[in-house]
Amino acid sequence: MAEPIRLAASNDGEPQRLPRNVEAEAAFLGALLIDNRILEDVSIKLTPDHFFEPLHGRIYEQILKLVDRNMLVTPVTLKPLFEADETMKELGGPAYLVKMTADGSGLIGARDFAQQIYDLALLRELVSVGRGLVEGALDTSEAVDPKAQIENAESALYKVAEGDGETGSMKSFLAASTEAIKNVEKALNSGGHLSGVTTGLDSINSKCGGLHNSDLIILAGRPGMGKTSLATNIAFNAAQRWLRDREDGIDEAKSVGAKTAFFSLEMSADQLATRILAEQSGISSESLRMGKISRDDFRELSRASRELQELPLYIDDTPALTIAALRTRARRLQRKHGIGLIVVDY
């Protein structure tokens, strides 16, 4: 039986308790050197940076380069590339490559080894984010800005989580066509020929079939043309339809409404709420602002307010909001409430 591969972690200054499995890395690389086709079976996006042992990362990087050139990768073809590698010399030179292939157990569990390497890399990244957060919070030598630190921490955490989502964007035609059929079914069942989120405006829905995931829609017009009013109506209609579909017992995945986030950099939240209440109560915004309403109007306004208190419409009216802060807040809303539509009025 081959002698097990043993490597001391060579990450300078890294605590020995960091999550890692150097043996799994060696077994996976050994399997790759025996059968290059294993790379085709690994569905996750494994990169050299995911390896805890830097030498393993360098070996994997060279394997990827040679495979990309349609070359056969074996200990023999890799040998010239590592003859001058100091870490490799400490382990007996290029013979270390042969030692990795001596135990063929990696061939059986190559996919599991790859997944474990990836998962442990995510955990190490999480440790790094946590360490940076603690160090930043304890450092008061410069101007202290807790909110900026929180936003940076959320952004860093999201990047770690986002990495887990990048496990392969390749889809079979079966998967793609299944998704397409779901959209067609959604449009058929909506009654309004909608495959996306409703704008609440039939003329717009008939042109584009609603608002779809990954769409970026720019609403352009000259000043005073009603861009904010239209955007507010669309945001309200989408949120109201989601609420109505939920009350009707329609599955959330089949709803043509959406929980909505509205970032208003030009108008305050209460002004936007006043616009919505004015439309729903049939009272002009000007009358509401000036208080020129009757008792009956006020009762109608209160009724509209009660009906809309569960509306999944989240308004952020922070002025001079940066792109980074907006992105962080949008991700936070998505994590907490599962929003499906974002409107930015600026």
Q: Which of the two residues, 182 and 156, has the higher pLDDT score?
A: 156
Q: How, if at all, do strands 260-264 and 341-345 pair?
A: parallel
One DSSP character per residue, 261-313 reads EEEESSS-HHHHHHHHHHHHHT--HHHHHHT---HHHHHHHHHHHHHTTT--E
pLDDT at residue 205 above 90?
Answer: no
Beta-bridged to residue 111, according to DSSP, are none
pLDDT in the model for residue 2 = 44
**Ramachandran category for residue 227: left, alpha or beta (phi over 0 → left; psi -120 to 50 → alpha):** alpha
Q: 112-133 burial, b for 16+ CB within 10 Å, e for fewer?
A: ebbbbbbebbeebbeeebeeeb
Q: What structural domains and CATH numbers belong to the chain?
A: 22-165 (1.10.860.10), 196-345 (3.40.50.300)
Secondary structure class of 183 (helix, strand, coil): helix
Q: What span, in angstroms and rounded, lies between the C-alpha atoms of 340 and 269?
A: 20
Q: For 190-194, 244-248, 273-277, which range has the lowest pLDDT when averaged over its residues?
A: 190-194
User: Quick one: pLDDT band at residue 142, thresholds 50, 70, 90?
Assistant: low
Report which of 96, 34, 29, 93 is spatially closest to residue 61, judged by C-alpha positions.
29
Question: Letter for the amino acid at 134?
Answer: V
Report which of 313, 309, 291 is spatially closest to residue 236, judged by C-alpha positions.
313
Phi, psi of 209 (to 5 degrees): 70, 20
pLDDT in the model for residue 48 = 92
pLDDT in the model for residue 226 = 87
Q: For 12-16, 146-150, 289-293, which range has the lowest pLDDT when averaged over its residues?
A: 12-16
Q: What is the mean pLDDT of residues 193-207?
A: 83
* Residue pair 55/85 in contact by the 8 Å Cβ criterion: yes
pLDDT in tens, 21-36: 999 999 999 999 999 9
Report which of 340, 23, 30, 29 is spatially closest to residue 198, judged by C-alpha positions.
340
Question: Letter for the amino acid at 297?
Answer: D
Q: Which two tokens stand for residue 235?
A: 């945001």
pLDDT at residue 1 above 50?
Answer: no
- The whole-chain average pLDDT of the chain stands at 82
Q: What is the mean pLDDT of residues 207-216?
A: 87
Report which of 169, 167, 154, 163 is spatially closest to residue 125, judged by C-alpha positions.
163
Q: SS in 3 state form for 191-219?
A: CCCCCCECCCCHHHHHHHCCECCCCCCCC
Q: Which of the two residues, 50 and 167, has the higher pLDDT score?
A: 50
Phi, psi of 291 (to 5 degrees): 75, 15
Q: What span, in angstroms and rounded, lies between the C-alpha atoms of 195 and 193?
A: 7
pLDDT in the model for residue 262 = 93
Q: For 23-37, 47-61, 90-104, which range has the lowest pLDDT when averaged over its residues?
A: 90-104
